[in-house]
Every structure is written in C-alpha cells, then in structure tokens.
Structure 1
Amino acid sequence: MARESTELTAAGQERRAVLYRMVMPDHICPYGLKSLDLLKRNGFDVEDHHLTSKAETETFKKQHGVETTPQTFIDGTRVGGNDDLRAWLGLEVHRKGEVTYTPVAMLFGMAAAMALAVGWGGFASTSIPSTVERFAAIAMCLLAVQKLRDVESFSTMFLNYDLLARRWVRYAYLYPFAEGAAGLLMLAGTAMWLSVPLASFIGLVGAASVIKAVYVDKRSLKCACVGGDSQVPLGPVSLAENLMMVAMAVWMAIKAWA
C-alpha cells in the first residue's frame, strides 16, 4: 500500500522524495508548501528543489512533460502534483466542483459554539431552550453573511429553484437581507411583530421550493444556502434550514404572546 511505503525501511532509513516547487522573490507556491509538509509529516527525507524564475519553471515543465508544479518524485518515479501526492498517500482529495456538506456543517458547528459561548460567558441564560434559540438565530445570521459576500452570485444560483424568486427576481436579491434581519431581531429578542412573520414567510417559501425541486421534480441542484459558490447539494440540509426558520418563528411567537 502507498501509505505503508512512507514508513521507515528495514534498515531504519527514511524514504527519500524529490520535490520541485516554485519559490520566487514575489511568489511561493502554496501547493508546493503543502506537498513539502505532507512529505515531511509522512516520514520522507525531502530533496527540496526551488524553481526560482518563470523561465526555470517553464523549462522544468517542458523537460518532464507536465503542465503544473509542484511535482514530487519518489523512488525515481513521478507521483505528480499536490492532489496526486495526497492520493498516493491514501489521503482524501477534494476535486473542484465536488459536492460536500462541509461548509454547512462548519457553519452550524460555529453557530452552536457561539450560542454556548454567550451562555457560558454570563451574557445570557444557559438553559437548553435559550441556547437553542441563540443557535438558530446565530445560524441565520451566519447563513446570511455567506450569501451577502456575493449577492449577485447567490441570486443566480437561487433562481434555479426558488419559486418566488422565479416570479419576482428582486426577491433573490432581498432574501439575504431578510434572513439576516430576522436572525438579528430574534437574537436581540425584539420586534417580534416583524421577525416572526419575516422568518415564517421566507422559511415556508424556501421549504416549498426545495420540496418542489428535489422531491417532486427530482432535479439535481446545488443549494445557495451558503452562497453562490456553494457545492452543497440541494436536499435535506436545505429543507432543514428553512424548516428551522419556521420552527424558530413559531417558538418566538409563542414566547412573545403566551
């Protein structure tokens, strides 16, 4: 196995690798640094060659018939670039355009940590209901931030499936601001007359849109929930986001008017 080949040899000597990477006065290749780190962490004695100019880099690529650097050689055999090295070592390789739930998981994880931190810091109640309320409100704010980073890109992806935005395009541009406003108001515990109907409306429309696109039309789409460059597939997570907003709105309404 490739992973096993990184172990020390029977003689107790380290395996050797040769790495060629760009190290120029105005540019140090980040993938070269990653490859160097991977090799060292996997027990290799690295012969690190620097390509210090564009001319030297182009000459190297022409000599070896490759289009990119860095390039790693192990036991005289070319392994390839950083992704190729990761694969050779048996590590996960993230391909461009590959679907992933990681951004959503990280966002919700941070929202939960922030909700707990506020309680532990003595700024609010540490009860489970209060913590859940803060989590939902903070998650809405963080989701809105992801969309607001590039509203144009978000709106383009959103128009692929949102039922209201397809009828009224401006809604795609207003949505991130509405989500953020609802989250902030709920976090502050104020103006429930505005935040409750706002969250309920966008949550219900969003849920209906996901159900129609994914479960009725059986379309395979990317979700715009974490921005227009998202690789998160439209489906259960997207539906859960919208239902969370509706549930939060109902809960806050019950609290406010009980």
Structure 2
Amino acid sequence: MPGSPGVYRMLDAKGEALYVGKARNLKKRVTSYTQLVRLPERLRRMVALTVAMEIVTTHTEVEALLLEANLIKRLKPRYNILLRDDKSFPWLMLTGDHPYPQLAKHRGAQARKGDYFGPFASAWAVNQSVQTLQRVFLLRTCADTVFANRTRPCLLYQIKRCSAPCTGLIGGADYAVLAEQAKAFLAGKSGALQKELAGAMQAASDRLDFEQAAAIRDRIKGLTVMQGSDVINPASLAEADIIAVHQEAGQACVQVFFIRGGRNNGNRSFYPANTSGDEPGT
C-alpha cells in the first residue's frame, strides 16, 4: 500500500462498493482499519464484509477529495452515510433568479432557480472553489439583501475579487458574460474559455485599452493556475474511456476509467476468466 494521497474503495463479496474514502497517506489510513478494537461497531461490520480493496493514487489530497466526491456520487456506497441524504453534501450554486447571479455554497433542497455544481466532499472544497472562481470571474458572493443596499463597492472589489455590480460599475450584459464563462468553466470547457479570453485581451490591446488588457491577462493567469492545479486529467481530455490491462500469474485485471466533461468519474475493475493463455491484445 503506497504512502501517497489517493482514494480507496472497500468491496464486498459481490464486488460492490461498501465504502469510498480519501486519504493523505493511503497506507496509514488503511492500516487504521486493521485495529478493530478501536473501531466503532458500524465500522467493524463494514470491515467484516470487506473482501477486497481497490485504490487510486493521486498527486495531491485535493485531487483525492474531488475523485472521492465523484465516486460517492456514482457508486452510492452503503457505508458512506452522508450520501443517504444527498442534501447533506455541499454544492456550488450560481443563482438564476436575479439579474446579477450570485456565486455561493449551498446545502439542502435545490429549490432555488439556478445552476448547481457538485456535490463536493466537504465545505472546505466548496469554499476553496468559490475563492478561486472569484479571482477569475469576478462574480458577487454577497446575499441579495446586501446587494440591494450597497451604496459603494466593498473590499472584494478593491482586492479584485468582484466586479461590483451592486454599484453599477459593470453593466448587466457584461456581468452576464462573466456568469456564462463561469458556467462553461465548471462544465469542463476551460480550453475554449481560455482562447476566448486571449482573443478579448488581444482586442483590448489593439484598441490601446491597456488597463482592460491587463485585467484580462490577470484573469487568464488565474485560470491557468486553476487548470494547472487540477492534474487528475489532461486539460484536453473531455470525454474518454481509458482502459488498462495487467496480466500476471495466469490472471488478468482490466481497469476502465471514465472521463466525462473533463472530470474523472472514477474507475471500474473487471477480472475476465480463462485468460491464462491469452495476450492482453486479445
């Protein structure tokens, strides 16, 4: 078991996932399950039902966090108690019932009109995403009541994390463009968005609006940082099934990874029978 960050799955006799978890150090985390006397009864039952374990290593703990959320959402393991009530997981919400959409963390029923992205595995992951998206897309995070009563820009405008629509420093049409760009990024279309921003920066430079060009340049830098920190998948990989085969001692394992919308939705293992005389290519 490696000592690197990653995600582990505990499987029952039917090969179904009992539990999905992430760890900064897989070896230490998995070893803790062998100390049965320290585990509560619920976890002891889970360990007793576990007959196999699968792991996926990642570069960082943040990547493990994102992959864990995708796997829990897809597999719905019985011992991941929180997913029995999907409302317990935090989501990223971009409201759709206001002329200037608000970017916010959301829990509970998705009754408000808008776009929801997630679920995320923790509130920390959502908060980090909100802070990063603020730098790139300059969307407001204040509540509607605060927005309606502002008379001058807040500190977020001063530190370049908001475009201050509350005081009219950006028009509705321009703000709508920012909101659509944020949706495109969260939908996995970051490559097209970066090209769009590069074109806008060049256009601003051509008309000698260097202040606007510099602002767009800073947004491109922020977008590049966001893309560079997410190395689970290559940036150009949007939709793919990645297949890997390993054969040893007359047995074979086939791993299939599912990439959808630029996101890693996890993997599935297959153990084909009667493969002792076959080559991986067959």
Query: What TM-score, normalized to structure 1?
Result: 0.29
Higher-strand-fraction structure: 2
Structure possessing the higher relative contact order (Cα contacts under 8 Å, 6 or more residues apart): 1
- Structure with greater Cα Rg: 1
Query: What TM-score, normalized to structure 2?
Result: 0.27
